[in-house]
Each structure stands twice: as structure tokens, then as C-alpha cells.
Amino acid sequence: MDARHLFLFLGLWAICTLSKPTEKKERVHHDPQLSEKVHDDLQNFDYDHDAFLGAEEAKTFDQLTPEESKERLGIIVGKIDLDSDGYVTEGELTAWIKKAQKKYVYDNVERQWQEFDLNQDGFISWDEYRNVTYGTYLDDPDPDNSFNYKQMMIRDERRFKMADKDGDFIATKEEFTAFLHPEEFDYMKDIVVLETMEDIDKNGDGVIDLEEYIGDMYNHDGDANEPEWVKTEREQFVEFRDKNRDGKMDKEETKDWILPSDYDHAEAEARHLVYESDQNKDGKLTREEVVDKYDLFVGSQATDFGEALVRHDEF
């Protein structure tokens, strides 16, 4: 499943679970912001686990028994409760989720760093990146695949240049992070929008029309009747996406769609987690309320794993 299909499902989730579908803004493009998982709590809580713990840490929790999960979750609650008043507020939870997200991003960069820094000088030059990523293709261009690779390389080079603030074609760790996770950096937003538009704008006229918009998320496959959600998406396009009502989504309109400035994923997830676990509806969570809902926060289906195989003590 590619990122945009994922967000399609996030969108569907929003329609199904939020009472006000017009507020649906789950759709973002590119590297997942909180999780690669589909947010469908009817199926599982994988998205929530990733958001709450970071994808890597969530994996380690999957190895724990319910009792161990609850115990560790109880300890985590103490860390989320920054002012130590015994309650986890939506704000504290938002800050926690942002921290988990940041950790995921920086861990991911660390993981990949060695592979690309061929001369181990602490920087990654475009040459290094290109050789590692496209070396095989460059050594032996396959005419059948060459168009794809060439396009991808051109795109990567453009993004690399954008991330490379001082223009020396050598990425510092910070610049390489912006290259791999452009959605995390304000100065990369334009290129995120540009790449998204290029993906969706099939006729290459530089804007996204209704059919391109729908075609990107829905594969007709000879369906005679369009599903209800596609009709809803058509209305969304006309009523909300295409703000100036010229029938097309331009750069600004696309940006409002995929990187809405008034929508914060971490906040939305925090609100969702509080809503789902706040038993006495006082708007904040006690340790008991969180632990009671351990399956939502961290829980594992893997109850028969027995003793934990993996243990990290970062949290």
C-alpha cells in the first residue's frame, strides 16, 4: 500500500468515526507522520500504538504479555504526566506523541546513515547517495527500467538540492533528515507539494482536476456504481479542495489539502486517545484509565509470546 492509499483509508476512517466528516483532514502525503499503519480501530490499534510509542518501540511492546505491557505503560504514564499532578492531559499526550514521532524520524536517519556515508566523513554527498541508491542502475542501465530510474534519480536530486541548504551538494545530518523526511521541515513543504502534484497530475498541465484527484485514490476497475465514499470525495473536491472554484487544484490548494496548517496529527491522535479512554469524562486520564485501555495504547495481540524477547529501557 503506498502512502496515498493509506491516507485514503485514513480518510475513510475519519468518515466512519468522526461525526463531522467535513472536518476530515486525515489526508497527508508522503512519509507517514505518525504511522504507516491504517487507522482503523475496528480492525486493530496498530496506528495508535505507532503514534503513541513510535514504530520501533511499538514492535517491542508486541512481544510483551498483557501484564508486562500494563506495567510498562504505567511507568510511561508517569513520564507523560509532565507536571506530575496525577493526570495525563490532552496537551501532555500531544507533547509525548510529538516526541515519539521525532524519535522515530531521527532513529530512522541514524539507521540509514552508515549505508550512505561511504567515506565515513560524517556527511553524505549527493554522489554518495546517488551511488548507493542508483549505482546498480548507473553501472548497467536497463533500457526497460531506465525511464523509471532516471525519473526517480532526477526527483531525488532535486529534493536533495532543496534539503541541502548551503548548496554544497553535501548533506549534514540535519539536511539529510530533511531529505528523507521532508514533511517534518517547513522549508521542504514546497517540494512535498510539488512531488505530490506530479504524481497526481496525469496530464501534466500543472494542476489537479477532479478526475485526476479521484483517479489517484480510486481504481474504477469496471465498477459500474461508484462507492459512496468516492461520491463524498467528489463533493469534497468541489466544496473544499478547489477553493477558488475553477475546477482545478493549484499549488496552494494542494498544499492546504496535504499539509493543512490548521491540522496537527499529534493533537488529533491525543484527542482520540483521550476520548476513547476517559471513563469518567473529566477530560483527562488517570493512570488507571490509561492502563485499563492498554490494548489501545500499547497492547499486544501476541499474548502467547510468553516472556518478552525484546526489552528496551528507553521509556
Ligand X SMILES: *[C@@H]1O[C@H](CO)[C@@H](O)[C@H](O)[C@H]1NC(C)=O
Residues in contact with ligand X by CB under 6 A are 118, 125, 127-128, 131
* Residue with Cβ nearer ligand X (136 or 303): 136
Which partner from the list ligand X, Ca ion, none does 240 bind, CB cut-off 5 to 8 Å by kind? none
Which partner from the list Ca ion, ligand X, none does 131 bind, CB cut-off 5 to 8 Å by kind? ligand X
67 lies in the site for Ca ion, by CB under 5 A:
no
Its sign, for the CA torsion 259, 263, 269, 272, is negative
List the end-to-end C-alpha distance of the chain, in Å, as a whole number: 31
* Residue with Cβ nearer Ca ion (106 or 123): 123
* Residue with Cβ nearer ligand X (17 or 131): 131
* Residue with Cβ nearer ligand X (129 or 297): 129
Which residue minimizes CB distance to Ca ion? 201
Gap between the Cα atoms of 20 and 39, Å rounded:
17
The length of the chain, given as a count of residues? 315
Which partner from the list Ca ion, ligand X, none does 108 bind, CB cut-off 5 to 8 Å by kind? none
CB of 119 to Ca ion, least distance (A): 5
Q: Please give, one letter per residue, the 3-state secondary structure of 80-141.
A: HCCCCCCCECHHHHHHHHHHHHHHHHHHHHHHHHHHHCCCCCCCEEHHHHHHHHHHHHHHCC
CB of 236 to ligand X, least distance (A): 46
240 lies in the site for Ca ion, by CB under 5 A:
no
Question: Cell 518478552 sits at which residue?
Answer: 308
CB of 135 to ligand X, least distance (A): 7
* Residue with Cβ nearer ligand X (63 or 131): 131
Which partner from the list Ca ion, ligand X, none does 127 bind, CB cut-off 5 to 8 Å by kind? ligand X
User: What is the x/- site pattern for Ca ion, positions 98-137, by CB under 5 A?
Assistant: -------------------x-x-x-x--------------
Number of C-beta neighbours around residue 77 at 10 A: 22
Nearest CA to 294 out of 54, 50, 74, 142 is that of 74
- Number of residues this chain uses to bind Ca ion (CB under 5 A): 7
Q: Where are the alpha helices (DSSP H) in the chain?
A: 3-17, 46-53, 55-61, 66-80, 90-116, 126-139, 146-163, 173-180, 189-200, 210-217, 228-236, 251-258, 265-277, 287-292, 294-297
Question: Residue 120 burial by CB count (10 A; 0-12/13-18/19+): exposed, middle or buried?
Answer: exposed
Which partner from the list Ca ion, ligand X, none does 117 bind, CB cut-off 5 to 8 Å by kind? Ca ion
CB of 127 to ligand X, least distance (A): 4
CB of 177 to Ca ion, least distance (A): 15
The CA radius of gyration of the chain, in Å to the nearest whole number, is 22
For Ca ion, the binding residues (CB under 5 A) are 117, 119, 121, 123, 201, 203, 205
